[in-house]
Structure 1
Amino acid sequence: MWLDRFGGAPPNASGTSTPQSIVRSYSPLPRRTTSGGLSPYVTSQRTGSSPRSSSLSLASNDSTSSLLSSSRKPNGSALRQTSTVYDGPSPEDIIEKLLEEIQDDTDQPQEPSFVKKEDLDLIPEFGGLSLKQLADRKGQGESDWEAQFSALSIRSHPAEEYDNRRTQFNELHQNITACDDILNSVETFLTSFRNDLANVSSDIESLQSRSAALNRRLNNRRAVEKALSPIIEELSISPETITRITEGHIDESWVRALNDLDRRATAHQKRTGSQPPKALEDLKPLLEKLILKAIERIRDFIVAQIRALRAPQINAQIIQQQNFLKFKDLFTFLHKHHQTLANEISLAYMNTMRWYYLNQFGRYEKALGKIKLHSLDKNDALGQEDTPRRANVLSAARIPGPPHDAFNLGRRIDILKTNNPSAISSYLAEEDQSTHYLEVPFRNFNLALMDNATAEYTFLATFFSPALSFAQISKNFNYIFDPTFELGRTLSKTLVGETYDAIGILLCIRLNQRLSFELQRRKVPAGEGYINATNMLLWPRLQVIMDRHCESVRSLTNSLPTKPSKSSSDPSKMTAAPHMLTQRFGALLEGFLALSTDAGDEEPVASSLRRLRTEVETFLTRQAQTYGSDKRKGSRFLYNNYSLVLTILGDIGGKMAIEQRHHFEKLKLAHQADA
């Protein structure tokens, strides 16, 4: 026991050292002897440290943490654990040394020791070292061991202090127990957390493998999609497109669905070879049925619009703009997939419009026929005298019309300068009570005809192209307008066939030329045939009228005597004033030159005016010879007539007018000396 050792009691009577060995086995410290024979545990040898410092030393002992760490159960966790590696002497060596010391102590005589009551309350202090560490230090050498052991101070504490601190120690024990429980729960939590981490790691590995597989599948699908998506996009037809084509109302969205179907059908036809894939073979019946359904609906729609054109009081251009041009892709699709049906529908449309224009312009021609016109016959020739003309009119029992001037242009040129681009309506033509010249109905009919021809040709070129070529479109246009053009030519023949209105004919020629320029500007070449046919009517008739004027002047010249007769009146009483023929010729020449400011020498007008001018000069020269021997008076007569012509011509522009003025100025200068 510890008391026997501290008291230094002698061995028992038997002389054995068994109690000493038993007591020695409980302490790792060697027994120390002093020279004074006193025990080292006497009170006088204690240090002066207070019991409080002993308590703190005990609390700070590392053996507590060692016991706590050793009390934990191994849990086999795979988590990394930190431990201190022991590098001191092995436990076998320590036990062997202790046994040797016990044997040495039994051989030496025991010295008596005196144990006091205070020694029972002592608390050994090992300098902050645990028993294990203290034993390790023993192996470092006897001197080192003695130095460490001599540094120990033993203090005694009274029993009252233990009683006072019992509660504190109990609380400390409870805290340690609670900490141990907490550490056990933390250990359990960490074990569960480790297991969860292992499961998560397994799940992550599974997800990684699945992700790699999905990536491979995604890459494969992308490669397949890249190769197949253009083909699928070209050939696939959505259910919305099928429903719209078969059941939807024909509008802009229906046209878009039709164009989409046409693209799919074209792509299917291109990809169908000698051995088409099975997918294309399965799609072909659906495409054929859908195309036939679209053709059926297009046929019904266009036929309904053609029937609407035959309704009374209908405006064909409104139907063309709103119901035909708006859906021009329908005919293109029809002609591409069923050309025979497209040609039949095209023929039905042409027959309808042929009847429509002939009917409308027939009514318009009748309305223009009610306009009152000035009648100019062969008695209105340039060399025709007024007295015979009036006699012929009265002898024919004709009611004379409103007064008119067959040789003066006047305000008739305004019909070329008007800013009104439209023709007179049928209602206004029937209600008009004034009298006009022949160019008025000619202009209104041909202007309306050209406007409608332009609109129809533009419609044909827009609606039937590119299904039909422009050559075929021109043929269709001529088929539609041939009866109407024939009606226009008949009207022109009626207006100019019996008239001798040279200015009216030339006005019609200029109007026809302007219509030709307008057709060229509008890019309607199909109307050139009608324009040329009208010119073939007007130019020959103008030549006939000019020939009639020349013939009348020639007849008047031939009626004059070649030599002055004795029976003629006194030359001194004859006037040198300009002749009536000169007045008519000057007015007619001024009208022709005003209408030919932009004309060239290649036109028949220039040659006709030269012929007429020659006849007039011949007449004036013959008339001047009637003055007999009074040559001066004859020259004055010629001077006055040429001056009148120059005065009438005035400052008219144009190459032809300059030529005529230059010619008459030379004639005037030739007779100026005698004037």
Structure 2
Amino acid sequence: MIQNNEKEATSENAIQFDALEQVLQKVVGSLEKFQVNLDAATADIDKVSQWSSEIQVRLSNMKKVESALGAEIDTHLLPPTLIKTICTGDMEHPSWSTALEQLEIYLGDEGNATNNEKLTLLSHKGSEEQEELCQKLCYKAIERIRNYIVVTIKLFRHGLVDVASIRKHRFIGKKNYYTFLSKHNPLLSLELRKAYINTMNWYYYYHFYHYSLLLSRVNILKGELIRPEEDRKGFFMLGKGSSQIQSSRMFSLDLRSQNFDINSVLMASTVNHIESSPQFLERIYFSWELVFTEHASAEYFFLLEYFELSTEDQKTTFHSIFDGSLQLSQQFITDLISTSIDSIAILKCIRFTQELILQSQKNLVPVIEPHYTSMIILLWPRLQAIMDLHSESLQKSPLPSKSDDLASTPHPLTQRVSELLYSLATLSANSLEAEPLTHSVSRLSHDFVALLNKFCEGMSDERKRNRFLSNNFTLISTVLSGAHGKLAFDQKAYFEELNEKVND
């Protein structure tokens, strides 16, 4: 019984061992398969890690390339906003000027493409397309700039336009427009410059012509010659048809305006106000020359800044614009002074012109100096002619019928001569070189002294004669004491010497 139980237990254990061995074999088989799969997974992980490293390296290289060539690529890819601005943008807005500068960069960089990496990124076909697009955009910019400049030039042909404002905002403020045009289409830029020159030639002539008509309406004091005239009673008066006040005005420098500037220029409103009031000739001359100088100087500086003219082109271009106006100015001044006998006014015009010459040299406006020189050439001979007329007037003066009736006090004529000499000497105080005026003044003084001697030739009383001469010489030398300069000194010394002789 016991043996049977043991056999059964042993048999069952054997069966269990067999079952466990089968399970163990399955587990071993599963572990072996897992190891194989684990090895395969490890190999895959190693491959993925290697691929990841390679991708990381490539990504890093791409970032370096993008960083290095990104700007180069951008300069060859025209932004849509740039194209839109150039084609349809408002040219008065600063954005258009900025867009033009950007386009200039694209055009400039395209011609300098030498980087191998850039050529690798941009296909040959793509580069050609970008270049063609840049050129088309350049042509569009040139077209719009041409139209813009033409419209601006046409503005000058309108009536009352503010030339300075137009030039400042539409030309100088947009100077890069013309610079761009000159670089990419030099022939067109020259044609536009010629159109501007022709227009301004008409503009200045038209306005200066009408300005000359305006100044011609002013009643100008012709002036007077020094001459005594005998009335019915045998006494001398200072000039037929002239009041004492007007006579003193013509020869007195103190009663004339001493300083003129651009604010005192005669304009339409001013002329309408003073049309019936006589004016000294120098005010007309000053107004004309100041206006002419102001416009000519402004135009010259504009030409230099906007067109960037060479030294050779500066004079040619300036005269192409102002030739007509210069001829008009020459004729106007000739007509203005041709009938004048106002020596003070003519000399003031000469001094003013000399100041303009110095000012033009200081401001570096050499092109206008020939105009001033031509004015000097006109004015000096006229002054000489007037001084000759004064001398001739003294030489032809009638003598008093009764010399003994002359008072020993200074003759009224002496007052006028002294005022004239004082005014001429004062205006010549700063003159450092010999001038034609010196000879003319000396001649006038000698003729006047000769006339005084004729006045007293018939005097029976020599003491009265000497007293008469001495009083006249003393008056002139006293008046000249208030003037400075070589001319005043010489004339004062001359009359003091004469006074000493008659008092000996």
Q: Is the shorter-chain TM-score for this pair beyond 0.5, marking a shared fold?
A: yes
Match of 1:646 among 452, 464, 477: 477
2:484 corresponds to 1:668: no
The equivalent residue for 1:456 is 299
In 2: Cα distance, 1:231 partner to 1:600 partner = 68
Match of 1:588 among 392, 398, 420: 420
In 2: Cα distance, 1:339 partner to 1:384 partner = 71
RMSD: 3.7
Contact kept in structure 1, 2:222 and 2:339, CA below 8 Å = no
2:276 corresponds to 1:429: no
The equivalent residue for 2:229 is 385
2:393 corresponds to 1:549: no
Contact kept in structure 2, 1:550 and 1:611, CA below 8 Å = yes
Q: Kindly state the Cα deviation for residue 386 of structure 1 after the two structures are TM-superposed.
A: 5.8
In 2: Cα distance, 1:219 partner to 1:302 partner = 50
Match of 1:261 among 87, 103, 119: 103
Name the aligned partner's letter for residue 267 of structure 2.
S
Residue 251 of structure 2 aligns to a residue whose secondary structure is coil
Residue 436 of structure 1 aligns to a residue whose secondary structure is coil
Q: Kindly state the Cα deviation for residue 346 of structure 1 after the two structures are TM-superposed.
A: 1.6
In 2: Cα distance, 1:618 partner to 1:570 partner = 15
2:432 corresponds to 1:600: yes
Match of 2:139 among 286, 292, 317: 292
* Structure 1 residues 574 and 503: alpha-carbon distance in aligned structure 2, compared to 1, 3 A threshold: closer
Match of 1:241 among 82, 86, 91: 82
The equivalent residue for 1:615 is 447
- What is the aligned-residue identity percentage? 30
Match of 1:318 among 158, 161, 165: 165
Higher Cα Rg, which structure = 1
The equivalent residue for 1:476 is 317
In 1: Cα distance, 2:391 partner to 2:59 partner = 102
* Structure 1 residues 522 and 235: alpha-carbon distance in aligned structure 2, compared to 1, 3 A threshold: farther
Contact kept in structure 1, 2:260 and 2:286, CA below 8 Å = no
Q: Kindly state the Cα deviation for residue 506 of structure 1 after the two structures are TM-superposed.
A: 1.0
Q: Kindly state the Cα deviation for residue 255 of structure 1 after the two structures are TM-superposed.
A: 1.2
After superposition, give the CA deviation of every residue in 1:387-431 in whole Å (9 maximum; x if it has no partner).
69x99x99xxxx9899732752244542x3246635122132133
Residue 246 of structure 2 aligns to a residue whose secondary structure is coil
Structure with bigger helix share is: 2
The equivalent residue for 2:152 is 305
Matches within 5 A, 1:58-137: none
Name the aligned partner's letter for residue 150 of structure 2.
V
Matches within 5 A, 1:338-357: 338-357=185-204
In 1: Cα distance, 2:169 partner to 2:56 partner = 56
Residue 404 of structure 1 aligns to a residue whose secondary structure is helix
In 2: Cα distance, 1:644 partner to 1:400 partner = 23
Name the aligned partner's letter for residue 350 of structure 1.
I
Count of aligned pairs: 449
In 1: Cα distance, 2:343 partner to 2:357 partner = 21
In 1: Cα distance, 2:502 partner to 2:49 partner = 124
Identify which range, 639-648 or 426-435, moves more after superposition. Answer: 426-435
In 1: Cα distance, 2:214 partner to 2:378 partner = 23
Residue 384 of structure 2 aligns to a residue whose secondary structure is helix
In 2: Cα distance, 1:582 partner to 1:249 partner = 74
After superposition, give the CA deviation of every residue in 1:456-501 in whole Å (9 maximum; x if it has no partner).
2222222212xx3243243222222222222222221121101211
Q: Kindly state the Cα deviation for residue 647 of structure 1 after the two structures are TM-superposed.
A: 2.3
2:339 corresponds to 1:498: yes
Contact kept in structure 2, 1:554 and 1:615, CA below 8 Å = yes
Normalising by the residue count of structure 2, what TM-score does the alignment of the two structures yield? 0.77
Q: Kindly state the Cα deviation for residue 550 of structure 1 after the two structures are TM-superposed.
A: 2.1
Contact kept in structure 2, 1:407 and 1:587, CA below 8 Å = no
2:357 corresponds to 1:516: yes
Match of 1:332 among 147, 157, 179: 179
Name the aligned partner's letter for residue 246 of structure 2.
H
The equivalent residue for 2:21 is none
The equivalent residue for 1:58 is none
In 1: Cα distance, 2:95 partner to 2:149 partner = 17
Q: Kindly state the Cα deviation for residue 541 of structure 1 after the two structures are TM-superposed.
A: 0.5
Contact kept in structure 2, 1:374 and 1:402, CA below 8 Å = no
* Structure 1 residues 620 and 231: alpha-carbon distance in aligned structure 2, compared to 1, 3 A threshold: farther
Normalising by the residue count of structure 1, what TM-score does the alignment of the two structures yield? 0.59
Matches within 5 A, 1:130-209: none
- Relative contact order: is structure 1 or structure 2 higher (C-alpha 8 Å, sep ≥ 6)? 2
Contact kept in structure 2, 1:601 and 1:656, CA below 8 Å = no
